[in-house]
């Protein structure tokens, strides 16, 4: 910045751009197979159904005006109905708040729930969007590791026993980004019990729960305690262009978020919210649509995992493909995935190194692979290229 | 909140709901003529043109995906072209950042430009959405009054001479909300010169500038200094449902805002941004559309001002109707507009008392009237009802 321009806030010194986004800019060339992104497949999104809903919504002029900060009433009603089914209780519409994607719910909740310096516990590896928000809010951050059954709730209990008092514990409970794993029902109950006993909030960030492959995901953590605030979204099951996410939270939390939403951006788009309400309320159609997404992603995920296991054998450990959008793999031969990335890109494949998601643990031999936007053949080719890069890198050391 | 729920942040204690929004909920009954709102007229919004743009955008699948945090490239290019014409210089696309309405630009800029406790100078009366944002950011706030030529820049100079060092000065330079006035060209130059000399940012918040009635608004403050960040929006000239606002700012500011936008909500809606780009690029159509909005609002504003002057004579001083959406009026007989409001609502008319916008000055005899959503006959009836309320209140004291 030129010396005669006014300064920017010192807060910015601590913020970093998302490593994934910066990387994506480098690897968007067509000849590279991108396993690095985190995007749902636009080809699977219901373009014509959205166009029909848009045309219907635009027959009235109400859709052109500002809407409620909490979200358009009929959309909140549809979400309340869906969430009631998922949570096994009647969720009143007053406990539903519509946000500009669930990322905005995270950002507003960080303001509502955290005083400066408050402790937030995240999972390790962590969802980068949550780390960004909690760091920007000036929180102190501690991490507990994941294993095959999701968050190590015993490690959280240890941390509480040492006297740590989190204000918030954040979890991507189902089909973790980036970890690929799902928290077991036992641990969900344990986490909720800890929240009740110690008086902290749990933010259950669940954009992927409906994208299960062979069997439905366990009941949400939010079924076990009112201290659990549940976030979900239409982005992964319909389309991110709607920018419709939502939060199910106790009324006082919704009222506090409303105050902040007014300052943050007044309200969402009445147009995209009416489209979302139309599609979410069309239950038979939506069920069939989500089935198609599930079946497609399931085929791709299984092809990727099969190719990894087939190609690398015991040199790579890899999560099962149970749902969501990501597979997490770890080289057992000590390969550093940050070091390998440049060679991989030369061989025509990109991924995100585990280090990008690491909080305390050393994930330098791990990588995240997104299977949503390539078909089975292209995923198999990606793994061949990765093996070529691995062989080349091994030969040169 | 029940005692066994975790607590909310102490920051919330200082935040208040928007007085206007709370009031609107009380006065939305059909029999009340609402001068209290701040909404553009949905009947004037180009519903069919938007529907056509939506249908066109939804012919491709790219529109369904996440878009760039800075805004969809072609939309930024169209905005850069329009702003180049307004600012009289070639605005590079790197200096354009699309936000979810210009309110989001304000909220992100408060994060980017302010350290905790930094001084922000606002106008008095102030735009409530700006006050909310600066208060939430923990800023210290001082106010300088408005007069018929807009911000009293001499009062700002006095404040600087006393040693105050603002980080940001916020102005609604043209067709002020709520004050109705426009900053004179001379003061625009003086404000920019003060910013250059003292090293503060100016946020020029300009959603109404194109809604002039008899002659175009003066050149933006941003034409006079690179320390001026200019905000504008499609909400008042096309439709708020697009949630498309924008900022023209030096590149380092745009890059800093981008980091925060990723955490705040990832990105805007590719669908509404493509619709906005289509309409903003359709210059001949847009010029004719804005002419229609101008002519309609001009008729309404003049009818309102004429009725107020005709009915109240010298008991009310009222701004001229030169553009925008609001008239600011002041009772010269000492009538307290907060006290009068209940009686006014009984008589079937609602407005916002001046006290709702007051920072330091006592605006208890002032009121804001919005003329956008009622035709001339209804506005005249509103003034008759206001006169009835005033007479009734005067008689009872």
Cα–Cα distance measured from residue B15 to residue B108, given in angstroms and rounded to the nearest whole number: 17
**B residues 218..237 contacting A (CB < 8 A):** 226-227, 235
Considering CB atoms only, which of B47, B101, B266 is closest to A64?
B47
Query: Exposed, middle or buried: residue B39 (CB in 10 Å: 0-12, 13-18, 19+)?
Result: middle
Count the neighbouring beta carbons within 10 Å of the beta carbon of residue B310: 10
What share of chain B has pLDDT > 70, as a percent? 94
Nearest-by-CA chain B residue for A110: B9
Tell me B8's DSSP state.
Answer: P
Contact at CB, B266 and A101, closer than 8 angstroms: yes
Cβ of B195 within 8 Å of Cβ of A252? The answer is: no
Distance CA A103, CA A231 (A): 9
Query: What burial letters (b/e) apply to A279-316, b meaning 16+ CB within 10 Å?
Result: bbbbeeebeebbeebbebbbbbbbbbbbbbeeebeebb
Domain residue spans in chain B?
Answer: 11-40+287-392, 48-281
A126-135 mean pLDDT: 94
Q: Which residue's structure tokens are 């005033």?
A: B390
The reported pLDDT for the residue numbered A3 is 41
Residue among A99, A199, A260 whose CB faces B136 most closely: A260
Smallest CA–CA distance, residue B50 to chain A, in Å, is 8
Alpha carbon of residue A134 to chain centroid: 15
Nearest-neighbour CA in chain B from A71: distance (Å): 12
DSSP string of B226-269? TTEEEEEESTTTT-GGG--EEEE--HHHHHHHHHHHHHHHS---
- A/B interface, count of CB pairs below 8 Å: 231
Average pLDDT on A267-281 reads 98
Q: Which residue of B has its CA nearest to A68?
A: B21
Instruction: Return the percent helix, strand and coil in chain B, to nearest 5.
Output: 50, 15, 35
Model confidence at B5, pLDDT cuts 50, 70, 90, reads confident
Q: What is the pLDDT of residue A20?
A: 53
Are B112 and A8 inside 8 Å of each other by CB?
yes
What pLDDT is attached to residue A16?
A: 59
Look at the block and give the residue holding tokens 């009947």.
B43
Cβ neighbours around A172 below 10 Å, total: 30
Of B125, B256, B270, which Cα lies nearest the Cα of A39?
B270
Tell which A residues from 103 to 122 touch B, by Cβ distance under 8 Å: 103-104, 107, 111-115, 118
CATH of A62-282, one of 3.40.1390.10, 3.40.50.720, 3.30.870.10, 3.40.640.10: 3.40.640.10
Nearest-neighbour CA in chain A from B23: distance (Å): 14
Question: Which residues 136-175 on chain B approach chain A with CB closer than 8 angstroms?
Answer: 136, 167
Which of B271, B275, B279 would you mutate first to test chain A, the one with the most A CBs within 10 A? B271
Q: Which of A28-37, A100-109, A127-136, B44-53 has the lowest mean pLDDT?
A: A28-37
As given in the structure block, the two tokens for residue A328 are 């997490």
Is residue A304 within 8 Å of A371, Cβ to Cβ?
A: yes
Q: Which residues contact B112 (CB under 8 A, 6 or more apart)?
A: A8, A9, A12, B253, B256, B257, B260
A194 has a pLDDT exceeding 50: yes
- Predicted pLDDT at B153: 98
Residues comprising chain B, all counted:
397
pLDDT tens-digit readout, B226-247: 999 999 999 999 999 999 999 9
- Pick the residue from chain B with its C-alpha nearest to A118: B9
Beta-bridged to residue A338, according to DSSP, are: none
pLDDT at A165 (0 to 100) = 97
Token look-up 């009872």 returns B396
Angle CA(B66)–CA(B72)–CA(B78) in degrees, nearest 5?
Answer: 165
Contact yes or no for A58 and B50 at CB 8 A: yes
8 Å CB contact of B39 and A252 = no
Rounded Cα–Cα distance for residues B81 and B103 (Å): 22
Q: What percent of chain B has pLDDT over 90?
A: 87
Contact at 8 Å (CB) between A133 and B263? yes
* Distance in angstroms (rounded) separating the CA atoms of residues A208 and A348: 28
Note whether A101 contacts B250, CB cutoff 8 Å.
Answer: no
A10-46+287-396: which CATH number, 1.10.1470.10, 3.50.50.60, 3.90.1150.10, 3.30.420.10? 3.90.1150.10
What is the predicted pLDDT for the residue at A37?
85
Output the pLDDT for position B25.
Answer: 63
Q: Does the distance separating the beta carbons of A50 and B62 come in below 8 Å?
A: no
- Nearest CB neighbour to A101, from listed B200, B265, B271: B265
- The reply to whether residue B263 touches residue A45, judged by beta carbons under 8 angstroms, is no
| Cβ contact, residue pair A50, B65, below 8 Å | no
Dmax (CA) for chain A in angstroms is: 66
* Strand blocks (E) in A29-74: 33-34
Assigned token pair, B367:
């009121």
pLDDT of residue A4: 60
Residue B197 near chain A (CB below 8 Å): no
Distance CA A40, CA A33 (A): 15
Cα–Cα distance, A386 to A349 (Å, whole number): 7
Place of tokens 């009237």: B369
Nearest chain B residue to A138 by CA distance is B116
A251: three-class secondary structure by DSSP: helix
Shortest CA distance from A57: residue in chain B: B51
What are phi and psi for residue B283, nearest 5 degrees? -65, -40
* A180 has pLDDT over 90: yes
Alpha helices, DSSP H only, in B162-244?
Answer: 185-198
Q: Is a pLDDT exceeding 50 seen at residue A2?
A: no
Question: Does the pLDDT value for residue B223 go beyond 60?
Answer: yes
Phi, then psi, of B153 in degrees rounded to 5: -65, -25
- Of the candidates A5, A12, A69, the beta carbon closest to that of B227 is on A5
Please state, rounded to an integer, the average pLDDT across all residues of chain A: 94
- B397 Cβ contact partners less than 8 Å away, ≥ 6 residues apart: none
Residue identified by tokens 């955008």 is B57
Length of chain A: 397
Strands B326-331 and B316-318: antiparallel
Q: Coil, strand or helix: which one is B350?
A: strand
Stretch B173-197: mean pLDDT: 98
Asked if A42 lies within 8 A of B64 by C-beta distance, the reply is yes
Q: How far is A364 from chain B (nearest CA, A)?
A: 25
Please give the Cα distance from A32 to A26 (Å, whole number). Answer: 10
pLDDT mean across residues, chain B: 94
From chain A residues 8-67, the ones with a CB under 8 A of any chain B CB are 8-12, 15-18, 21, 39, 42-43, 45, 47-48, 50-51, 54-55, 58, 61-67
Using the Cα atoms of residue B82, residue B87, residue B89 and residue B94 in order, give the sign of their dihedral. Answer: negative
Query: Is the pLDDT at B56 greater than 50, yes or no?
Result: yes
Mutate to test the interface with A, among B28, B39, B64 (most CBs of A within 10 A): B64
Local structure of B24: helix, strand or coil: helix
pLDDT tier for residue B32 given thresholds of 50, 70 and 90: confident
ipTM for the predicted complex: 0.94
Residues of B in contact with A9 (CB under 8 A): 111-115, 118
A111·B11 Cβ contact <8 A: yes
Nearest to B114 among A9, A256, A260 (CB): A9
Mean pLDDT value of segment A223-242: 98
pLDDT of residue A17: 58
User: DSSP strand E in chain A: where?
Assistant: 33-34, 96-99, 119-124, 140-147, 150-151, 168-171, 201-205, 228-233, 245-248, 316-318, 326-331, 349-350, 352-353, 366-370
Write B151-155 long-range contacts (CB < 8 A, 24+).
Answer: B151/B123, B151/B183, B151/B187, B151/B191, B153/B187, B153/B190, B153/B191, B153/B194
Q: What percent of chain A has pLDDT over 70?
A: 94
Nearest-by-Cβ selection for A262 from B12, B18, B66: B18
Identify any residues that bridge with B159 across adjacent strands, giving them in sequence order. none
How close is the nearest chain B Cα to the Cα of A249, in Å? 11
- Cβ of B64 within 8 Å of Cβ of A112? The answer is no
The mean pLDDT of B347-361, rounded to a whole number, is 93
Q: Which letter does DSSP use for residue A243 in this model?
A: -
Which of B17, B42, B65 has its CB closest to that of A241? B65
- CATH fold of the domain at B48-281: 3.40.640
Most A CBs within 10 Å: which of B3, B9, B227, as the mutation test of the A interface?
Answer: B9
Please give the structure tokens belonging to residue A362: 């050393």
Whether the Cβ atoms of residue A150 and residue A184 lie closer than 8 Å to each other: yes
**A157: exposed, middle or buried (C-beta count within 10 Å: 0-12, 13-18, 19+)?**
middle
| pLDDT(B20) > 90 | no
**What pLDDT is recorded for position A9?**
81
Sign of CA dihedral A107, A110, A111, A112: positive
CATH topology of domain B11-40+287-392: 3.90.1150
């Amino acid at each position: 910045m030129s010396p005669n321009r006014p300064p920017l806030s010192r807060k910015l010194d601590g913020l970093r751009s998302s490593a994934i986004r910066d990387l994506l800019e480098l690897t968007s060339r067509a000849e590279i197979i991108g396993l690095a992104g985190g995007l749902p497949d636009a080809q699977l999104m219901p373009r014509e159904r959205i166009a029909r809903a848009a045309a219907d919504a635009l027959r009235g002029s109400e859709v052109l005006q500002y809407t409620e900060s909490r979200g358009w009433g009929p959309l909140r009603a549809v979400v309340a109905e869906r969430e009631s089914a998922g949570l096994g209780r009647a969720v009143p519409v007053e406990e539903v708040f519509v946000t500009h994607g669930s990322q905005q719910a995270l950002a507003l909740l960080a303001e509502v729930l955290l005083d400066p310096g408050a402790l937030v516990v995240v999972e390790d590896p962590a969802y980068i969007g949550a780390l960004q928000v909690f760091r920007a809010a000036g929180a102190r951050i501690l991490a507990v590791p994941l294993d095959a059954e999701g968050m190590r709730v015993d490690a959280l209990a240890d941390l509480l026993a040492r006297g740590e008092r989190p204000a918030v514990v954040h979890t991507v409970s189902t089909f973790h980004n980036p970890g690929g794993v799902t928290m077991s029902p036992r641990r969900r109950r344990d986490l909720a019990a800890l929240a009740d006993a110690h008086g902290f909030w749990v933010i259950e960030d669940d954009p992927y729960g409906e994208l299960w492959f062979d069997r439905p995901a366990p009941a949400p953590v939010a079924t076990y305690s009112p201290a659990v605030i549940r976030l979900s979204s239409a982005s992964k099951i319909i389309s991110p262009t709607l920018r419709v996410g939502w939060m199910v939270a106790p009324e006082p939390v919704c009222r506090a978020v409303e105050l902040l939403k007014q300052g943050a951006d007044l309200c969402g788009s009445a147009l995209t919210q009416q489209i979302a309400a139309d599609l979410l309320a069309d239950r038979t159609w939506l069920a069939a649509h989500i089935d198609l997404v599930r079946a497609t992603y399931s085929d791709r995920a299984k092809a990727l995992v099969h190719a990894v296991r087939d190609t690398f054998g015991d040199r790579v450990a890899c999560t099962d493909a149970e749902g969501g959008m990501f597979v997490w793999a770890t080289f057992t031969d000590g390969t550093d995935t940050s070091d390998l990335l440049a060679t991989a890109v030369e061989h025509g494949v990109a991924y995100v190194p585990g280090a990008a998601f690491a909080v305390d643990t050393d994930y330098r031999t791990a990588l995240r692979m997104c299977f949503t936007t390539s078909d089975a053949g292209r995923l198999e080719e990606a793994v061949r290229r990765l093996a070529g890069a691995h062989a080349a890198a091994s030969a040169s050391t």
